[in-house]
Amino acid sequence: MQRHDWVESAGELFEAAMFGGDASALDRSDAVLDAVEAPFSMSRGKVLHVRFLNDREENSQELVLFERAAELYERLGDASGEADALFWIGCWHQVVKGDGVTGEPYFERSYALAKSVDDRMTMSYAIRHLGFADKDAGHFDRARERLTESVMLRREIGFRPGEAAGLVALAYLAAETGDPSAAFRHLDEAQSVAESCGAKAVSGWIEQARTLIRP
């Protein structure tokens, strides 16, 4: 059902309850409206997150929107949607607030929920940020395992820009752990992938990494 069909359906249910005396229509309209509001909240929250990445100005509504989406998806029984929302709640804490410890449980729950429904896209995001948390905590081997898993998941589903971004993360980790040759191999592969899919932003990250990582 298209989004406008959901809205039309909610209107029909309102009329059934208001004028037709069908009390059950109220409960059914709640589910329809939740199905409209949840992805809308997610989209609004993601836009605010990108704005934060661009200007580094925090907007607390981002967290409010993601928490609302998680609540709605849970109520709808949509595990994939809930997993996505939980990931973004974790991202708010880790990226916006710089608090990876608070974000980690959200990433773990997101990964588990996504795995239960084979949502490999969300799995790739959650495990990636768990890898970042491990790196920040000095658990480099586990960080490498998790970042590698993220790349493999993205490769499996054909998410080429995300695959390239994941390789950049592995390059930074390799450099941080004293293996610059591996870092540049990752960057070379990332560049090839990014060019193949026109991921210009990721290509910029790769060039920046080359200037920061020393042989």
pLDDT at 1: 45
pLDDT given for residue 167 in this prediction = 98
Q: Which of helix, strand or coil describes residue 118? A: coil
Give 144-190 as a 3 state SS string: HHHHHHHHHHHHHHCCHHHHHHHHHHHHHHHHHCCCHHHHHHHHHHH
Residue 189 tokens, joined: 């592969």
What's the average pLDDT block by block, 10 residues per block, for the chain (215 residues)? 56 55 61 85 96 94 98 96 98 96 97 98 98 97 98 98 98 96 97 96 95 87
CA triple 47-81-162, angle to 5 deg: 60
Task: Pick the closest to residue 181 from 214, 148, 209 (CA basis).
Answer: 214
3-class SS at 60?
coil
The first and second tokens of residue 159, run together, are 């998410």
User: What is the model's pLDDT at position 13?
Assistant: 56
Task: Give the per-residue pLDDT at 2.
Answer: 47
What confidence score (pLDDT) does residue 189 get? Answer: 97
Q: What single-letter amino acid sits at 203?
A: S
